[in-house]
Amino acid sequence: MTANAQIMELQSMWEDQIDTSEFSFKTQNYLQISEEEFLDLYDAQPSFGMFRDNYFITGVPTNKDINKQTADVKYQISVSQRLIKSRLPFRTSLLLTYTQKSFWDIYENSSPFADNNYNPGITLIRPVLINQQLKGGVALSLEHESNGLDSIYSRSWNFITLSGVYFYNANISLQGKIWAGVLGDENKDLFRYRGFGLLALNYRSYNDNFWASLVLNPSKKFNVVNTIVELNFKPIPSSNQYLFLQWYNGYGENLYDYNQYTSMVRFGLCIKPAMRNFY
Protein backbone atom coordinates (compact mmCIF):
# COMPACT_ATOMS: atom_id res chain seq x y z
CA MET A 1 0.00 0.00 0.00
CA THR A 2 1.41 3.41 -0.98
CA ALA A 3 1.77 6.27 1.50
CA ASN A 4 -1.04 8.21 -0.19
CA ALA A 5 -3.33 5.19 -0.05
CA GLN A 6 -2.52 4.72 3.64
CA ILE A 7 -3.31 8.36 4.34
CA MET A 8 -6.67 8.11 2.57
CA GLU A 9 -7.56 4.92 4.46
CA LEU A 10 -6.62 6.33 7.86
CA GLN A 11 -8.36 9.64 7.16
CA SER A 12 -11.53 7.78 6.15
CA MET A 13 -11.44 5.87 9.44
CA TRP A 14 -11.11 9.12 11.39
CA GLU A 15 -13.96 10.78 9.50
CA ASP A 16 -16.20 7.75 10.04
CA GLN A 17 -15.14 7.53 13.70
CA ILE A 18 -13.90 3.98 13.17
CA ASP A 19 -11.32 2.59 15.59
CA THR A 20 -7.89 3.45 14.15
CA SER A 21 -6.55 0.12 15.42
CA GLU A 22 -8.12 -1.39 12.27
CA PHE A 23 -5.44 0.33 10.20
CA SER A 24 -3.08 -2.14 8.52
CA PHE A 25 0.48 -1.44 9.67
CA LYS A 26 3.67 -2.29 7.83
CA THR A 27 5.75 -5.23 9.01
CA GLN A 28 7.69 -2.91 11.34
CA ASN A 29 4.37 -2.11 13.08
CA TYR A 30 4.76 1.61 12.40
CA LEU A 31 2.71 3.92 10.27
CA GLN A 32 4.76 4.51 7.09
CA ILE A 33 4.22 8.14 6.18
CA SER A 34 6.25 11.26 5.51
CA GLU A 35 6.33 14.03 8.09
CA GLU A 36 4.62 16.48 5.75
CA GLU A 37 1.84 14.04 4.96
CA PHE A 38 1.33 13.15 8.62
CA LEU A 39 1.13 16.79 9.72
CA ASP A 40 -1.32 17.58 6.93
CA LEU A 41 -3.47 14.67 8.08
CA TYR A 42 -3.20 15.76 11.72
CA ASP A 43 -4.19 19.33 10.85
CA ALA A 44 -7.24 18.06 8.96
CA GLN A 45 -8.69 16.42 12.08
CA PRO A 46 -11.37 18.11 14.23
CA SER A 47 -9.89 20.81 16.44
CA PHE A 48 -11.81 19.73 19.56
CA GLY A 49 -11.39 16.33 21.17
CA MET A 50 -10.24 14.29 24.14
CA PHE A 51 -6.83 14.97 25.68
CA ARG A 52 -6.33 12.35 28.38
CA ASP A 53 -8.48 9.37 29.35
CA ASN A 54 -12.06 10.17 30.37
CA TYR A 55 -13.37 7.78 32.99
CA PHE A 56 -15.89 7.17 35.77
CA ILE A 57 -14.88 4.61 38.40
CA THR A 58 -15.82 3.58 41.92
CA GLY A 59 -13.88 1.60 44.46
CA VAL A 60 -12.59 0.86 47.92
CA PRO A 61 -9.33 1.20 49.88
CA THR A 62 -6.91 -1.70 50.33
CA ASN A 63 -5.23 -0.28 53.43
CA LYS A 64 -8.21 0.45 55.72
CA ASP A 65 -11.70 -0.70 56.61
CA ILE A 66 -14.25 -0.62 53.80
CA ASN A 67 -17.35 1.42 54.62
CA LYS A 68 -19.42 4.37 53.40
CA GLN A 69 -16.72 6.81 54.50
CA THR A 70 -13.82 5.11 52.71
CA ALA A 71 -15.45 3.96 49.44
CA ASP A 72 -15.84 6.63 46.76
CA VAL A 73 -16.24 7.56 43.11
CA LYS A 74 -13.46 9.10 41.04
CA TYR A 75 -13.92 10.56 37.59
CA GLN A 76 -11.83 12.46 35.08
CA ILE A 77 -12.89 14.72 32.21
CA SER A 78 -10.13 15.79 29.82
CA VAL A 79 -10.48 17.74 26.55
CA SER A 80 -8.34 19.81 24.21
CA GLN A 81 -8.92 22.49 21.60
CA ARG A 82 -6.32 23.01 18.90
CA LEU A 83 -5.76 26.76 18.60
CA ILE A 84 -3.07 26.78 15.91
CA LYS A 85 -2.27 24.04 13.42
CA SER A 86 1.26 22.68 12.96
CA ARG A 87 2.59 25.82 11.29
CA LEU A 88 4.46 27.23 14.27
CA PRO A 89 8.29 26.98 14.48
CA PHE A 90 9.51 23.37 14.44
CA ARG A 91 6.09 22.37 13.02
CA THR A 92 4.47 22.41 16.45
CA SER A 93 0.76 22.93 17.06
CA LEU A 94 -0.80 24.82 19.97
CA LEU A 95 -3.49 23.26 22.16
CA LEU A 96 -5.70 24.61 24.92
CA THR A 97 -6.24 21.76 27.39
CA TYR A 98 -8.46 21.17 30.39
CA THR A 99 -8.54 18.21 32.76
CA GLN A 100 -10.78 17.89 35.81
CA LYS A 101 -10.38 15.09 38.33
CA SER A 102 -13.05 14.73 41.02
CA PHE A 103 -13.33 12.59 44.15
CA TRP A 104 -16.92 12.01 45.18
CA ASP A 105 -17.98 10.54 48.54
CA ILE A 106 -21.16 9.30 46.94
CA TYR A 107 -21.92 6.68 49.58
CA GLU A 108 -21.99 9.14 52.51
CA ASN A 109 -25.06 11.06 53.60
CA SER A 110 -25.67 13.99 51.20
CA SER A 111 -22.93 12.57 48.89
CA PRO A 112 -20.40 15.43 49.19
CA PHE A 113 -17.39 15.95 46.94
CA ALA A 114 -14.15 15.35 48.82
CA ASP A 115 -12.02 17.22 46.28
CA ASN A 116 -12.12 18.65 42.77
CA ASN A 117 -8.86 19.27 40.93
CA TYR A 118 -8.99 21.73 38.02
CA ASN A 119 -6.10 21.62 35.54
CA PRO A 120 -6.19 24.05 32.59
CA GLY A 121 -3.14 24.42 30.40
CA ILE A 122 -1.69 25.50 27.09
CA THR A 123 0.48 23.02 25.22
CA LEU A 124 2.88 22.97 22.29
CA ILE A 125 2.91 19.49 20.78
CA ARG A 126 4.87 17.89 17.96
CA PRO A 127 4.93 14.35 16.56
CA VAL A 128 8.33 12.77 15.97
CA LEU A 129 8.87 10.87 12.73
CA ILE A 130 12.13 9.15 11.77
CA ASN A 131 12.65 7.50 8.37
CA GLN A 132 8.94 7.95 7.62
CA GLN A 133 7.96 6.11 10.79
CA LEU A 134 5.91 7.63 13.60
CA LYS A 135 8.19 7.16 16.61
CA GLY A 136 6.45 9.31 19.22
CA GLY A 137 5.84 12.89 20.22
CA VAL A 138 6.96 15.69 22.52
CA ALA A 139 4.90 18.27 24.40
CA LEU A 140 5.77 21.43 26.33
CA SER A 141 3.01 22.75 28.59
CA LEU A 142 2.28 25.69 30.87
CA GLU A 143 -0.32 24.55 33.40
CA HIS A 144 -2.24 25.48 36.53
CA GLU A 145 -3.81 23.07 38.98
CA SER A 146 -5.95 23.93 41.98
CA ASN A 147 -8.87 22.67 44.03
CA GLY A 148 -10.85 25.89 43.66
CA LEU A 149 -10.94 26.65 47.39
CA ASP A 150 -9.49 29.54 49.37
CA SER A 151 -7.91 30.24 52.76
CA ILE A 152 -6.34 27.26 54.53
CA TYR A 153 -8.26 24.85 52.27
CA SER A 154 -6.61 26.11 49.09
CA ARG A 155 -4.22 23.86 47.17
CA SER A 156 -2.65 25.14 43.96
CA TRP A 157 0.46 25.37 41.83
CA ASN A 158 1.58 26.81 38.49
CA PHE A 159 4.06 24.70 36.57
CA ILE A 160 5.83 23.83 33.32
CA THR A 161 5.95 20.26 32.03
CA LEU A 162 8.03 18.58 29.34
CA SER A 163 6.67 15.25 28.12
CA GLY A 164 7.87 12.73 25.59
CA VAL A 165 6.41 9.47 24.35
CA TYR A 166 8.30 6.81 22.38
CA PHE A 167 6.53 4.12 20.35
CA TYR A 168 8.76 1.06 20.66
CA ASN A 169 6.38 -0.76 18.33
CA ALA A 170 2.64 -0.90 17.69
CA ASN A 171 2.08 -2.52 21.10
CA ILE A 172 4.50 -0.90 23.53
CA SER A 173 5.11 2.77 24.30
CA LEU A 174 7.20 4.56 26.91
CA GLN A 175 6.54 8.01 28.33
CA GLY A 176 8.61 10.34 30.46
CA LYS A 177 7.45 13.60 32.02
CA ILE A 178 9.20 16.19 34.17
CA TRP A 179 7.86 19.33 35.81
CA ALA A 180 8.86 22.38 37.81
CA GLY A 181 6.77 25.20 39.19
CA VAL A 182 5.64 27.62 41.87
CA LEU A 183 3.68 26.16 44.78
CA GLY A 184 0.77 27.70 46.67
CA ASP A 185 1.14 28.86 50.27
CA GLU A 186 -0.87 25.95 51.69
CA ASN A 187 1.06 23.23 49.83
CA LYS A 188 4.68 24.35 49.92
CA ASP A 189 5.87 20.76 50.35
CA LEU A 190 3.96 19.31 47.37
CA PHE A 191 7.15 18.21 45.59
CA ARG A 192 8.08 16.14 48.62
CA TYR A 193 5.11 13.91 47.82
CA ARG A 194 4.64 14.32 44.05
CA GLY A 195 8.28 14.61 43.08
CA PHE A 196 9.44 16.13 39.80
CA GLY A 197 8.36 13.64 37.15
CA LEU A 198 7.00 10.27 36.14
CA LEU A 199 7.69 7.29 33.90
CA ALA A 200 4.95 5.28 32.20
CA LEU A 201 5.01 1.95 30.36
CA ASN A 202 2.00 1.19 28.16
CA TYR A 203 0.91 -1.94 26.32
CA ARG A 204 -1.93 -2.24 23.82
CA SER A 205 -3.07 -5.31 21.91
CA TYR A 206 -3.00 -5.34 18.12
CA ASN A 207 -6.78 -5.18 17.93
CA ASP A 208 -6.86 -2.35 20.52
CA ASN A 209 -9.19 -4.36 22.78
CA PHE A 210 -6.80 -4.49 25.73
CA TRP A 211 -4.62 -1.84 27.36
CA ALA A 212 -2.29 -2.05 30.36
CA SER A 213 -0.30 0.80 31.92
CA LEU A 214 2.19 1.16 34.74
CA VAL A 215 2.97 4.70 35.97
CA LEU A 216 5.80 5.36 38.43
CA ASN A 217 6.07 8.76 40.14
CA PRO A 218 9.00 8.97 42.58
CA SER A 219 8.70 11.37 45.49
CA LYS A 220 11.31 14.10 46.00
CA LYS A 221 13.57 11.92 48.13
CA PHE A 222 12.84 8.73 46.13
CA ASN A 223 11.90 6.97 49.39
CA VAL A 224 8.36 6.50 48.06
CA VAL A 225 7.29 5.74 44.49
CA ASN A 226 3.67 6.62 43.83
CA THR A 227 2.32 3.86 41.58
CA ILE A 228 -0.63 3.60 39.22
CA VAL A 229 -1.65 0.35 37.54
CA GLU A 230 -4.39 0.49 34.91
CA LEU A 231 -6.10 -2.26 32.91
CA ASN A 232 -8.58 -1.59 30.09
CA PHE A 233 -10.72 -4.12 28.22
CA LYS A 234 -13.04 -3.29 25.33
CA PRO A 235 -16.11 -5.58 25.43
CA ILE A 236 -17.49 -4.23 22.14
CA PRO A 237 -14.70 -4.08 19.51
CA SER A 238 -16.40 -1.39 17.40
CA SER A 239 -16.63 1.10 20.30
CA ASN A 240 -14.03 3.13 22.18
CA GLN A 241 -15.51 2.39 25.61
CA TYR A 242 -13.46 0.22 27.95
CA LEU A 243 -14.05 -1.59 31.19
CA PHE A 244 -11.45 0.07 33.39
CA LEU A 245 -9.60 -1.08 36.51
CA GLN A 246 -7.25 1.33 38.32
CA TRP A 247 -5.09 0.90 41.40
CA TYR A 248 -3.48 4.00 42.94
CA ASN A 249 -0.90 3.47 45.67
CA GLY A 250 1.00 6.35 47.26
CA TYR A 251 0.69 10.08 47.93
CA GLY A 252 -0.69 12.98 45.94
CA GLU A 253 -3.67 11.33 44.28
CA ASN A 254 -5.65 14.51 44.92
CA LEU A 255 -4.58 18.01 45.89
CA TYR A 256 -6.44 18.50 49.15
CA ASP A 257 -4.98 15.40 50.82
CA TYR A 258 -1.74 15.31 48.82
CA ASN A 259 0.29 14.45 51.95
CA GLN A 260 -1.94 11.52 52.95
CA TYR A 261 -1.12 7.97 51.85
CA THR A 262 -3.85 6.22 49.85
CA SER A 263 -4.26 2.82 48.27
CA MET A 264 -7.47 2.62 46.22
CA VAL A 265 -8.75 0.03 43.76
CA ARG A 266 -11.54 1.31 41.50
CA PHE A 267 -13.50 -0.09 38.57
CA GLY A 268 -15.73 1.47 35.94
CA LEU A 269 -15.79 2.80 32.38
CA CYS A 270 -13.12 4.63 30.37
CA ILE A 271 -13.11 6.39 26.99
CA LYS A 272 -9.67 6.72 25.43
CA PRO A 273 -8.44 9.33 22.93
CA ALA A 274 -8.21 8.07 19.34
CA MET A 275 -4.50 8.82 18.98
CA ARG A 276 -3.48 7.76 22.51
CA ASN A 277 -2.88 9.95 25.50
CA PHE A 278 -0.31 11.62 27.70
CA TYR A 279 -0.27 11.13 31.45
Binding residues: 110, 154
For residue 144, indicate whether it is catalytic: yes
Burial of 153 (0-12, 13-18, 19+ CB in 10 A): exposed
For residue 239, indicate whether it is catalytic: no
Is the CB of residue 129 less than 8 Å from the CB of residue 114? no
Task: Tell me the C-alpha distance between 257 and 251, whole Å.
Answer: 8
Residues 6+ away with beta carbon under 8 Å from 17: none
Q: Which of 41, 257, 50, 223 is nearest to 134 (CA)?
A: 41
Torsion of CA 10, 15, 18, 24, to 10 degrees: -10
**Which residues sit in the known binding site for Ca(2+)?**
110, 154
Q: Among the options 47, 144, 205, 263, which is catalytic? A: 144
Q: Among the options 21, 78, 102, 146, which is catalytic? A: 146
262 SS3 class: strand
Catalytic residues: 144, 146
